[in-house]
C-alpha cells in the first residue's frame, strides 16, 4: 500500500469535527465526552455495545464506512482489577486485541485525521525503575497477574506507531495511571482497588450501624453475583463474606488482598479526560519512538495508606485485615509524567479531594 499523509493537522480540528468515542459509556470515554462538550465540541458519534460489537470486524467496517468519523478516541476495552485479570486471562488478551485491531485499522482505511488510543500503566515491566518513563517500555518482564492485558495494550501502542511509520497516520497513545471517578465500576469481582475499597467500607459501615435498609438499597443498585436487596440476611452475608466483609458479635472486619505495601498512583478521571483532550488538541504523532505519553500526577501512596484515607472519608470504624497469602501485584507503579508536563499539562485534582468527591457521589 502507498503511505498516506494525515488529512490535516490537529490545529484544524474545529467544534463541528465529527468525533467517534469508542467506549463512551465507560468511565474514561464518558469523561472525555464531557470534557469535549465543555470545550464546545458538538458533533459526536457513539454506539453502545448492543449497537456495535467491536469484536465484529464486518460490523466495525460498516460503521466506519457509514459514519466516516474525522477523529477517533479508542477508550473501549475489557478492563478489571487483579481478580478479573487473573480469572479472565484469555478474554483480556483476545478481546482487547480484537477491539484495537478493528478500530485502528478501519481508522486508517477511512482516513481518520487523528486517533487517540488509551492504554494503561501496566504496560511497563514489573521491576522497571521508578518513576517509569516512556522509554521503559519492553525493557523487562511484565507483572504476571495482568500480563495478557498489558501485552494487548503494548500491541495497541506499537500498532499506532507502525501505522504512522508506514502510512503516515496521526495515531497517538496515552498511558494513564490508576483511574477513579464518575462512572467507575463497583463490581467487587471486577473493580479496581479504589472503587472496591470504597464499596467495601460503605457496606461495612452499614453493617456496623445495623443499617440494613441502606445496605439493601446498595445491593439493589449494584447486585453482587445476582444477589440484591430482596435476598435474605444469610444469603447477603454469604456473598459479602466471599468478598471479605465479615461481621461477628457486632464487630465488622474487611479483609483486603496482600500486605498493603504496594505503591500506587491515582488520577481522577476528569483530569485524565482533560489530559487526553489536551493531547488531541496539541500533540501529533512523532516520527521517533516511543510515541506514547504517560498521564498521571507524579505521586503515589501505599495501598495501606490509601485504605486509611478511604476509611476516614467513608467514616468506616471497623477493622481492616490484610491477607498476605494473596498476591500484591507489582510492587510499585509510579509514572514519570515529565513528558506530559513538558507539553504544558498538569493535573488539578488532589487524591484526597478526589476521594471526597467520589465518596460523596457514591
Q: Is 244:322 a contact under the CB 8 Å cutoff?
A: no
Neighbour-count burial of 195, counting CB atoms closer than 10 A to its CB (0-12 exposed, 13-18 middle, 19+ buried): buried
Q: Active-site residue 149, yes or no?
A: yes
Instruction: Give the C-alpha distances (Å, rounded to integers) separating 212 from 203, 207, 208, 226, 276.
Output: 9, 7, 10, 18, 41
Partners of 247 in the beta sheet?
A: 252
Q: Is 120:156 a contact under the CB 8 Å cutoff?
A: no
Q: Is 179:28 a contact under the CB 8 Å cutoff?
A: yes
Report d(CA 315, CA 204) in Å as an integer: 10
Q: Is 240:201 a contact under the CB 8 Å cutoff?
A: no
Nearest to 50 by CA among 25, 74, 69: 25
3-class DSSP state of 329 = coil
Q: What are phi and psi of 309, to 5 degrees?
A: -65, -45
Nearest to 111 by CA among 76, 65, 172: 65
Active-site residue (options: 20, 71, 149, 278): 149
Report d(CA 205, CA 209) in Å as an integer: 6
Residues recognised as catalytic? 149
Amino acid at each position: 500500500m502507498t503511505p498516506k499523509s494525515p488529512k490535516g493537522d490537529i490545529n484544524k480540528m474545529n467544534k463541528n469535527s465529527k468525533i467517534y468515542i469508542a467506549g463512551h459509556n465507560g468511565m474514561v470515554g464518558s469523561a472525555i465526552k464531557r470534557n469535549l462538550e465543555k470545550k464546545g465540541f458538538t458533533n459526536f458519534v457513539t454506539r453502545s455495545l448492543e449497537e456495535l460489537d467491536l469484536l465484529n470486524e464486518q460490523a466495525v467496517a460498516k460503521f466506519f464506512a457509514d459514519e466516516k468519523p474525522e477523529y477517533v478516541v479508542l477508550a473501549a476495552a475489557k478492563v478489571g482489577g487483579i481478580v478479573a485479570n487473573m480469572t479472565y486471562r484469555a478474554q483480556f488478551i483476545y478481546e482487547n486485541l480484537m477491539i484495537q485491531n478493528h478500530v485502528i485499522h478501519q481508522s486508517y482505511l477511512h482516513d481518520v485525521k487523528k486517533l487517540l488510543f488509551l492504554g494503561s500503566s501496566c504496560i511497563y515491566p514489573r521491576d522497571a525503575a521508578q518513576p517509569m518513563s516512556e522509554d521503559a517500555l519492553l525493557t523487562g518482564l511484565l507483572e504476571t497477574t495482568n500480563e495478557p492485558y498489558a501485552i494487548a495494550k503494548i500491541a495497541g501502542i506499537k500498532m499506532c506507531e507502525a501505522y504512522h511509520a508506514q502510512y503516515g497516520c496521526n495515531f497517538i497513545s496515552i498511558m494513564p495511571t490508576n483511574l477513579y471517578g464518575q462512572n467507575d465500576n463497583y463490581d467487587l469481582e471486577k473493580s479496581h482497588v479504589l472503587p472496591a475499597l470504597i464499596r467495601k467500607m460503605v457496606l461495612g459501615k452499614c453493617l456496623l450501624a445495623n443499617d440494613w435498609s441502606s445496605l439493601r438499597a446498595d445491593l439493589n443498585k449494584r447486585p453482587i453475583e445476582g444477589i440484591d436487596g430482596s435476598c435474605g440476611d444469610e444469603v447477603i452475608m454469604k456473598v459479602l463474606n466471599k468478598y471479605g466483609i465479615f461481621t461477628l458479635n457486632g464487630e465488622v472486619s474487611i479483609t483486603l488482598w496482600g500486605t498493603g505495601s504496594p505503591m500506587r498512583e491515582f488520577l481522577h478521571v476528569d483530569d485524565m479526560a482533560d489530559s487526553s483532550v489536551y493531547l488531541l488538541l496539541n500533540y501529533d504523532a512523532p516520527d521517533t519512538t516511543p510515541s506514547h505519553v504517560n498521564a498521571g500526577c507524579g505521586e503515589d501512596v501505599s495501598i495501606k495508606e490509601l485504605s486509611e484515607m478511604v476509611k476516614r472519608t467513608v467514616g468506616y470504624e471497623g477493622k481492616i485485615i490484610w491477607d498476605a497469602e494473596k498476591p500484591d501485584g507489582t510492587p510499585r507503579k509510579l509514572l514519570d509524567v515529565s513528558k506530559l508536563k513538558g507539553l504544558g499539562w498538569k493535573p488539578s485534582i488532589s487524591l484526597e479531594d478526589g476521594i471526597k468527591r467520589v465518596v460523596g457521589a457514591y
